[in-house]
Amino acid sequence: MSGHLDEQQLTDYAAGERLDAAEVEAIEGHLFGCDSCAARAAEAASLVTRLRDVFRALPPMLMSDAELEAMTRTHQVQVCNVGAFEQVFATVSPHVDIAVTRIAVDLTGVERLDVKLCAADGAPFIEVSGATFEPGAKFVNVVCDVHIASQNTAFRVQLSGVRGGVPVQLADCTVAQPRA
Ligand SMILES: [Zn+2]
């Protein structure tokens, strides 16, 4: 292994994911001899632990305004407002536990709501069919860790549903995150 460990390696190592035994061995070999990477690895580990705690305690991916309000009392929540078919830029502070994308979308008359969280190119991360939502809500709050926990610098939220028995596309918005 040449040079220091990169963010992806540190995150994967901390999360115990995606690495085979040889990669783990190489990373541990480097960490043993490099104080700077060892310090970054400890940081990554504490972030992973914090995220796991948060997501274990999380309500479903969609939160009502009341749940969002309650969440802000116990967690560092950053809310990013976006119109249903808009693209916004948002820089997430490193101190944030939970990032919420707050989409302005009128759910009046909507009988069914499907949520798709995708990479900027449309590859889906998470899909929820028949999500629970508040009838008549004017906002959909999507709880999201992808842009903290991964290398993705943009993601899309697509909302579709059924209104009056007719399928409707309710939102297709993109949140882009220039690296801080
Ligand atoms: Zn190093």
Determine the distance separating the centroid of ligand 1 and the alpha carbon of 95, expressed in angstroms: 24
Q: What is the pTM of this model?
A: 0.63
Q: Are strands 124-128 and 110-119 parallel, antiparallel or unpaired?
A: antiparallel
**Taken in order 146, 50, 2, 22, is the CA torsion positive or negative?**
negative
Mean pLDDT of 20-46: 92
Residues around ion ligand 1, judged by CB within 5 A, are 4, 34, 37
DSSP 86: -
Determine the distance separating the centroid of ligand 1 and the alpha carbon of 131, expressed in angstroms: 44
Give the CA distances from residue 148 to residues 25, 48, 130, 170, in Å, rounded to whole numbers and listed in that order: 26, 10, 26, 26
Q: Are 13 and 44 in contact (CB under 8 A)?
A: yes
Which of the two residues, 48 and 41, has the higher pLDDT score? 41
Taking only the tens place, the pLDDT of each residue in 63-76 is 888 888 887 887 78
Compute the distance between CA of residue 176 and CA of residue 39 in angstroms, rounded to an integer: 29
Q: How confident is the model at residue 179 (pLDDT cuts 50, 70, 90)?
A: low
Taking only the tens place, the pLDDT of each residue in 44-92 is 888 777 766 655 554 457 888 888 888 788 778 888 899 999 998 887 7
Determine the distance separating the centroid of ligand 1 and the alpha carbon of 17, expressed in angstroms: 20
For the chain, residues classed under CATH 2.60.40.4070 are 62-176
Determine the distance separating the centroid of ligand 1 and the alpha carbon of 29, expressed in angstroms: 10
Taking only the tens place, the pLDDT of each residue in 132-170 is 888 899 999 988 654 444 445 677 899 999 999 999 999
DSSP 130: S
Which residue type, as a one-letter code, is found at position 78? Answer: Q
* CATH code for residues 62-176: 2.60.40.4070
Determine the distance separating the centroid of ligand 1 and the alpha carbon of 44, expressed in angstroms: 14
Query: What percent of the chain is predicted at pLDDT more than 90?
Result: 37
For the chain, the residue count is 180
Res 147: pLDDT? 47
Determine the distance separating the centroid of ligand 1 and the alpha carbon of 38, expressed in angstroms: 7
Res 55: pLDDT? 58
- How many C-beta atoms lie closer than 10 Å to residue 86's C-beta? 14
